[in-house]
Structure 1
């Protein structure tokens, strides 16, 4: 798992713990940029649907808890056969490590830890969640001293398939409540019993019950009393011992009725007025699980033979009958008696001989039975059929694998079908069984060709070895990264199919275009496209790209296949170079005919346009106006402004870097329009300004004679070479 990216988000860093049901890893959340703890279900439980269902349900229930002393659940997920829970990562140690290192703890420290555990249990119980596995291994102590209870709800997910797993019971049976040991329903008071044991262990460095096996420890929880804490550690105040005694009562009714009640005792037990309070007494109630006194069995009674009773004393009547002489029998003739005796003996002998003849006849004459066809029948069917015919199945049944025979079916019999045998004869059966399977070898991390050779040597047919679509991975190209069946699975090389997945190297992603994006947006776009490394940011001056935007990217151009782990260099514009010069040109424009509309369009080129003309804008005017055109000049690039009037080039103006820098830009004059009517001539044949005469200040083209005059209104006359412009460094 180390180095694996679980769920496309959690990068496994190292293993930090584990128990009978799951392994715990430290991981990094790539999305949120924080460390988390990931609990992964052990492989032997991934096919237990009931377990998985409860595992998810309880993890989701625990996620509903929000308390400073409860480890937060962030996520629950599944990737292939990997079921995992993502939770808060606590930097520190678990309480079990602290107890091993320096128990017994100081009384105030132990009480402080127990109080925080109890506070967490109170919050959980209010949300109808019972922990069921409170023990030091599940108590985390952060570097700031904060206590965090973990594994909420997980113990409830344990089914009968896990109760005998080494580690799951052994690790927890020392903290079982009596009702937990009985296997009956556990509740809030069971958690408080376990907390009492944790407090006991923190203060004495001992467990209350020890035994040679989990069962013996569980029986002690049910039947025996524990050594009182103060006998092992006299520094424990009586008020603290009372808390332990009450929380560890075998009868749940005698314990604390809630975590809140126990928490109140923990918060006040170290007050001066409580330290030396009277020891708590309890009424011993009858419990069917307690140890009982049973009369001992004397050794001479073991295996003794029953004594035969004496005959009863004879009654007076019997004694009289015994002592009284019997009456004499009547005399019979001797001859008749002897004849009767011989007749009787003869009859007895004849009867005995007849019986013997009948017995011999029936014992030695056994009927024949035809053997039925048993091939193709199940073993049970064959047995029933033979028994019904009076035949016996030989106990030495031949069991072996036979090609084409289903396990449990008869494929041969010692006597052929139709053979005649005596009733009671024994028939031996040959019964098919499953082929002995082999453990699948591990061929991962080898080349595909080497893996095929190894599998063929193992017994697989080359035609049964298939290659899946290659996958991206950190392994070299053509290296086997997955196999199905997995290593150590039972397989039949003669018929099973094998699928191998090979690496096609690191995953490639398409390089996006970052040009003209801001730096922040460029970094976000890299992350969104799968790049994992932070980019290298460089600065470079630019005339063409606005400050803060990306000028170029390296080493991949947009659309190229790229390694997502490679470092991308982003060059960001720092703005215009230091020797650049900003200059604003005041550009006079006039209509073709004063008072009539003309469309003016302005184009420019400067250091920003790389020699290309860019549109500055359009204006529709009826009178002369002054337009402000901003230029950026460099020592090697001049500014050029082109004016079009009604679609025709009107004039072009050039501003050099040196003139702009030194303030020596030559003045701009409006050229003659070649005979266009700029206005009505006055009596002297000259064009007039408007009535006020103060709106121009420019020399205008003539009316056809090639000359014109400034206006004669109230405004001042302007020199024919006047110009409006300004410089801005």
Structure 2
């Protein structure tokens, strides 16, 4: 849908994300001239009333919130069969990308991020909105460092009684609360549990529960004890671990009562007096999942209860003598011990005790070497290949389980080995603006360097848009291993405006053509001037002043003289007497005039052999009188000066 306009207002520029229900694009609001994020419901759901209702519910849910840590909703609409929602555009990256790139985050930063998320949840909960999908993927970090919670796509009012839709559980299984995993009622404390998982992942760089399938992970949330954060990262203060432990109690009764309570705990957990506080403890849940044995007669008798005997058994017992009962009991007991001994030996032969072994750490090792190490530990390697833009081909990306876990011998260890970077079709970036092209390349894993984008002059493509690209669009490339060159238009070439004032029009036309400029024939204007009586002398090129940078090919408007002085000009002459004294011969003289035509204009410069008179023409204006100076023998000071006042000349 890139390039499409929705509602006649929102121009879609580039895809920046997506989920199961919708795709998110960066777009431009053509009315307010600002970048926005537009979430578009996938086309296959556009005719599904239930999905449309959920999509609109998200808009209504977020639109009711106004908080600096919640992505705002600007508009919601429908264009044909396309349902869309317009949101605040946050330029930056997700918290998941930060964790994947850096691993564990410094505790101080993690606590600050969690506090901002908690503040957003407190605001949402006070408006009866539960997020239900808090995870690092839905936490945006702007370039200004501001934390924004987004994607209320499965949010629902607190009056809801289920979290299922078409028999599937909504949310992300690694961040599920136990009550979500059961498909039960979700409330504010489910968001608190999910935030606890996010904080756990931030300070340890790992998820507390993982498995080969979503069901196995959900069961761990329900049944397995939490791996304590300080066992993974001993640098975590006890006070911070206590916050995590309290947020992740399986019984919601013992969790924080509200997001506000958790926020207050986060704001104080790094105070010096709290760093080494006692570890928090919670009551043991006696109702946890157990395996109950089959009820036997002995178990009932130990509780003072028996299985009622039949009437025939009662009569038989009454007819037997006491010594027979004693013999039967002794024989039964002896037989029991013999059978128990034989059975124990048989079981030991059939099911010998399997020793445990430590799982070796093979992440980062060559796949073949890793398999040998796993076999050397008497375990069975299972290899799964997957593409990776970060890990070299043939190297182990991760393993499951990972150390320090121990396994029985011959247990399976799954190794995820990199198949190298995945080849994709080179995106078409031609005519896209530079920022959009750069974001699209980054989103697909291409490396951006100072040499990636090159500016180039273009007479056809507007400044800022892509002119050309290498590799070309649709060519199969490996993003992390492909050097990309993008030519971006910087508009038409710029030239220096030449000074063509005082030149005849035709000569000015030639001088402009030499540097790639034109004369705007329709804008040539003739007007009277004090400076000259000659017609078609260039007076000015406004607004393009001499020396200004002008786009090549620009048509320059020109003002020329019409061969006449202005109506208020006074034209006259003034006499100047050049006197030679006895003995002077071949004397150089110079007469300089300053009047309405200009300053310090030399009107006579010659050598004379005798004294003589000169009639000097002058032009006066209401704002400019005339001054005439006579210089002799190259002197710097005039030997004669005369001034003519405008008002002294009669017409």
TM interval, shorter chain, is 0.3 to 0.5
TM-score (norm 2): 0.47
Higher fraction of strand: 2
Q: Flag the structure with larger Rg.
A: 1
TM-score (norm 1): 0.42
